[in-house]
Chain A
Amino acid sequence: MIESNLPALQVILPLIAAPLCVLLRRSSLTWLVAWSASWATAAVSIAILLKVLGSGTISYAFGGWAPPWGIEYRIDPLNAFVLVLVSVVAALIVPYARRSLQAEIRSRQHYLFWTAYQICLTGLLGVTITGDAFNVFVFLEISSLATYILIAYGQDRRALVASYQYLIMGTIGATFIVIGVGLLYLMTGTLNLDDMARRIANMPLYRPELAAMAFLTVGISLKLALFPLHLWLPNAYAYAPSVSTAFLSATATKVAVYLLMRFSYTVFGRSGIFESLPFEEMLIALSLAAMFLASTVAIFQDDVKRMFAYSSIAQIGYMTLGIGLANASGLTGAIVHMFNHAVAKGAIFLLLGCVALRIGQPLMSQLTGLAKRMPLTAAGLVVGGLSLIGIPGTVGFVSKWYLVMAAVEKGWWWLAALVVISSLLAVLYVWRLIEVVYFREPSEKLNEATEAPISMLIPAWLFVFACIYFGLDTSTTVGTAAIAAETLLESLP
């Protein structure tokens, strides 16, 4: 019974945990519920990935109604990979969160935080797993609404404004996605993504389809913070509680990147839309702009969380660059980079949460001499920073290597050079942090600080180890990503 219902369990385990959290109310009990649900979800996702890699695409008919009429959960290697990424990150953050929440959120609100966390997880997993266009929108809004709450829990009052701005922009994005889905439904008469792709391939290209593609691209780009649409992200990440920042930066944008891949390849792959629209060129240009401009802005930030938020925008640029390159190496690079960036940013934001536990909002001027007081935290930050740059031996190197290869395969040497040059910009802001942390005397605020509690350091360092491990042994991540990229490319003509 469990094996055949794995796709449903993937989404409903956190969905059941959320109301249980509301009923139990006690902070420690809700943490326990969240803990068990997240780890069970992670186990389910790994089981699904193994099953997909072993025996191919899984299709699950919700309520027993056969697709394309009923809602179908459709899992191929790509979304199985994203499911594992999201649920494992969520599960690792829960044990960390206990201490961090005690410091940052009033204890009688903890159960509401965990409810929002579980609902957000439900939404993100739902977006990834579903094979139904309207379901994508519903789950996206479920996760977004929970995200706004997770951000608004920040201690600083600016968290409220950041959350409000994200709400406005996120809702515009989601509404654009609904318009896109609606136009596609009008043209094809189906909401099942697979069925939709087949019908689009078999009919001439009408203008509403072009409009639908445009609406979907803009809507999803708002959610994934593609360069000119990124304005909500820096403040949201900077002022959210440490746990929320780590969770969202590692998962939410990745799911949106996945969605962009799903729509641009699986649904529109055979429609001939890429011949009539400069989609790839546009994506590459915006990605380059994100890589350079966001990295440059990051260099001048004083708030370290904000600095890494800008760095996230730049790193998302690498993922969309891979989508724009549209060949096997490029897509593999993009998919691996989703994983690598989640690991690196997860490590960094979790360690910044450790710093926040001791001194509050981590500003550059207050981090001087961190290495003398919190050596493990500082060392982890350095490893995370190095993988953002893409130093060989860390995860960041693997994905950038594939992106450079993809550019070379296309004969675009200039693009390969630009990828390398943009990594040098990352060197500047990461070096700034290392210089402050290692080569200065401890600031007044840090004088009394001691190393973070072990319950927070272990999950954070698991991410740091992952940064190195998956940088050295690339067979698991790259192997899966290559299979996922292959399934995406199959849908191109």
Chain B
Amino acid sequence: MSVLDSINYWIAMFLLITGIYIVIARGNLVKKLVGLSIFQTSVYLIYISPSKIIGATAPILAQGFSLYSNPLPHVLILTAIVVGVATIALGLALVVRIHEAYGTIEEDEIHEQDQSAT
């Protein structure tokens, strides 16, 4: 029961570790960014889950309701999502440039080219 109670956090932790594992284990630069994105998304869940109060309504003042969910985490996460989008866009732009410069987006091949160049 205790596992099901905090199922959101279990999922968030699973995504967190999955994401960071992809970042570390994959050599493909685009796949690394996919992992990074999953990793960031898990944090959104950590913020959003506790702000939902069971039985509470959306935080818009209305008659007959006195219990509202906390809107602040949503606002924070909206900002974090924007930051995430910018990061991924910049990362992909760098990958495009790397592909133009090296002709590959595999980390080990890039490393090889750097080693043979010097």
Asked if the two chains touch in their complex, CB atoms less than 8 Å apart, one says yes
Q: Is A179 an interface residue (CB 8 A)?
A: yes
Instruction: Please tell me if the beta carbons of A141 and B94 are within 8 angstroms of each other in the complex.
Output: no
Instruction: Please tell me if the beta carbons of A145 and B87 are within 8 angstroms of each other in the complex.
Output: yes
Most chain B CB atoms below 10 A, which of A137, A148, A158: A158
Q: Is A220 an interface residue (CB 8 A)?
A: no
Main secondary structure of the interface of A (DSSP, over half): helix
Residue from B32, B43, B110 in contact with A161 in the complex, judged by beta carbons closer than 8 Å: B110
Q: Is A172 an interface residue (CB 8 A)?
A: yes
Instruction: Please tell me if the beta carbons of A167 and B90 are within 8 angstroms of each other in the complex.
Output: yes
CA distance A149 to B46 in the complex (A): 30
Given A164-B29, A172-B23: A157 touches B101 (CB 8 Å cut-off): yes
Instruction: Please tell me if the beta carbons of B50 and A171 are within 8 angstroms of each other in the complex.
Output: no
A178-220 residues with Cβ-Cβ distance < 8 A to B are 178-179, 182, 185-186, 191
Q: Is A134 an interface residue (CB 8 A)?
A: yes
Instruction: Please tell me if the beta carbons of B32 and A168 are within 8 angstroms of each other in the complex.
Output: yes
Identity of the chain B residue whose Cβ is nearest the Cβ of A166 in the assembled complex: B94
Given A157-B101, A182-B46: A152 touches B20 (CB 8 Å cut-off): no
Identity of the chain A residue whose Cβ is nearest the Cβ of B70 in the assembled complex: A189
Q: Which residues of A contact B23 (CB under 8 A)?
A: 168, 172
Instruction: Please tell me if the beta carbons of A171 and B40 are within 8 angstroms of each other in the complex.
Output: yes
CA distance A185 to B73 in the complex (A): 9
CA distance A178 to B23 in the complex (A): 18
Q: Which residues of A contact B97 (CB under 8 A)?
A: 152, 160
Residue from A141, A145, A157, A175 in contact with B39 in the complex, judged by beta carbons closer than 8 Å: A175
Contact with A along B84-118 (1 / 0, CB 8 A): 00110011001101100110000000100010000
Minimal beta-carbon separation of A138 from chain B (angstroms):
6
Residue from B40, B91, B101 in contact with A175 in the complex, judged by beta carbons closer than 8 Å: B40
Q: Is B76 an interface residue (CB 8 A)?
A: yes
Identity of the chain B residue whose Cβ is nearest the Cβ of A178 in the assembled complex: B43
Residue from A134, A167, A175, A185 in contact with B94 in the complex, judged by beta carbons closer than 8 Å: A167
Q: B residues bordering A, Cβ < 8 Å? A: 20, 23, 29, 32, 36, 39-40, 43, 46-47, 50, 72-73, 76, 79-80, 83, 86-87, 90-91, 94-95, 97-98, 101-102, 110, 114
Q: Give the 4 A-B residue pairs with the shortest CB-CB distance, closest first.
A: A157-B101, A141-B83, A164-B94, A160-B98
